[in-house]
Amino acid sequence: MLSSHFALMVIYAVQVSLFFAVLWRRRLRDRVRLFVQMMIGMVGGGLVLAWLMYPFPLSPPAPIP
């Protein structure tokens, strides 16, 4: 079972991009182009969002011993 959040995000992005590329475009060239654009948008957007949220942890800092 996959435990990496990044791997799960990439699998999800592949499935969604493939579904919409097949659904929305008729020619193979257009399908591939839309697939690549959506993959870059979803995976790249997820990485950018994670990078922006990195300085703001959910828990308070640990006390200094």
Residue ranges of domains in the chain: 5-53
**Residues 43-47: what's their mean pLDDT?**
96
Which pLDDT belongs to residue 61?
76
Which pLDDT belongs to residue 55?
87
State pTM to two decimals. Answer: 0.79
Question: Rounded to an integer, what is the distance from CA 46 to the centroid of its chain?
Answer: 5
pLDDT tens-digit map of 46-63:
999 999 998 888 887 778
First vs last Cα of the chain: how many Å apart? 38
Angle between helices 28-53 and 5-24 (to 10 degrees): 150
Bigger pLDDT: 38 or 55? 38
Which pLDDT belongs to residue 1?
64
**Residues 6-21: what's their mean pLDDT?**
96
